[in-house]
Amino acid sequence: MPVNPVILPVFLPHLGCREQCLFCNQKATAQEVPSPSSVREFIRDSLARLPFNRDGRQRQVGFYGGSFTAIDREDQIRYLSEVRPFLSSGMIDSIRISTRPDALGEEVLSLIRQYGVKTVEIGAQSMIDRVLSLSYRGHCAEDTITALIRLRQWGLEAGLHLMMGLPGDTLDHFLETIDRVIDLRPDFVRIHPTLVLRGAPLEALWRAGNYAPLSLDETVRWLKKGLLKLEKASIPVARIGLQPTRELEDHILAGPYHPALHQLVDSSIFFDMAVKRLEPYSGAREVTLFCHPQKISSVRGQGNGNILTLKEQFGLREVYVQGKEGLSRRSLFLRTEASFMVSVIHGHGGSGRGDDPVLPNPA
């Protein structure tokens, strides 16, 4: 699994945006637009604060917040040129940008690759045209398909931003979007639920009772299904949910916001896995669950919620969780005090039929 790069983010709110998307109020998520001349100083200061690069992670400057390839060509060059000295010295490895799927023509792709852009994050949001239309996106799903094909032809990494719970969206639409994204094979995806932000056009619909955001429980349920599909297809999920900031939280009026949404989804997946494995051992009094060390908190659940629910549901006296190196991040081993044997659930919850391999005690 590739190591994620260190990203130095430069926010360019609304630059290049051709539409006023229904859900968008970038004042809630970004600051004033920095000038090109300020970018070099920002990079220099950011590099000075970074620790010694012991793990060899790539370092990227990311131009976020707008549609970079839709701004004037000369402005693109001004911003990109400020990064060039750091690329030449090797202090920065490459650049990433965010943009619209319909702003990636051949000419602009030639330009950005020439200036050191390696990664392009595309605001696809949905692969359902009706959802895109109701959200005033100004592009269609076919534009995303064309953009991915072009990026691949130019040898550039492609990431897709997806949203769920937009007007007109349903669970079936969201899962269809995930299936179509899997067919496109992007290098990674980001997913976040739709929030009602103060000042966004969506606020008026919500106040009029013409839009209801997803609940947090619905969001977790949708994301569980989508995340497992993406994991099965080996497509990395770079982030679930928006980056928590004070500015964002001050603008949220409604919607399934949670600062640790990815962990909520992860915990729910592990809970389902534990239930499937525990069902054949309904008489057990104590069990130990083994997982990857970095997944202990997800297995336990926030506030030990998974542990408490499992104890109540199965009449267990104790549920222990232990990390074990060498396990995959989506596997769970179970040991009961009766059998002292361990069953493994592979990948996405196992078969649930008791036909998973039985392994020796890993303790």
User: What is the largest distance, in Å, between two alpha-carbon atoms of the chain?
Assistant: 71
Angle 302-307-310 (CA atoms, 0-180°, nearest 5)?
A: 130
CATH number of 6-259: 3.20.20.70
Nearest to 50 by CA among 92, 98, 95, 4: 92
* CATH classification number, 264-359, choose in 1.10.150, 1.20.950, 3.30.2320, 3.40.5: 3.30.2320
pLDDT tens, N- to C-terminus, the chain (363 residues): 456 889 999 998 876 666 667 878 755 454 678 899 999 999 999 999 988 776 778 999 999 988 999 999 999 999 999 999 999 999 999 999 999 999 999 999 999 999 999 999 999 999 999 999 999 999 999 999 999 999 999 999 999 999 999 999 999 999 999 999 999 999 999 999 999 999 899 999 999 999 999 999 999 999 999 999 999 999 999 999 988 788 888 889 999 999 999 999 999 999 999 999 999 887 889 999 999 999 999 999 999 999 999 999 999 999 999 999 999 999 999 998 665 444 343 444 333 333 333 333 333
Chain-centroid distance, C-alpha 167: 20
CATH 3.20.20.70 region(s) of the chain? 6-259
* CA gap 107, 263 in Å, rounded: 41
What does the buried/exposed string (b/e) look like for 116-147 if buried means 16 or more CB atoms within 10 Å of the residue's CB?
Answer: bbbbbbbbbbbbbeebbebbebebbbebbbbb
**What is the value of pTM for the model shown?**
0.87
What residue spans in the chain does CATH classification 3.30.2320 cover? 264-359
Q: Residue 317 and residue 286: Cα distance in Å, rounded?
A: 6
44, amino acid identity? R
Q: Please check whether residue 234 is in contact with residue 175, taking contact to mean a CB–CB distance below 8 angstroms.
A: no
Closest by Cα among 266, 344, 272 to 301: 266
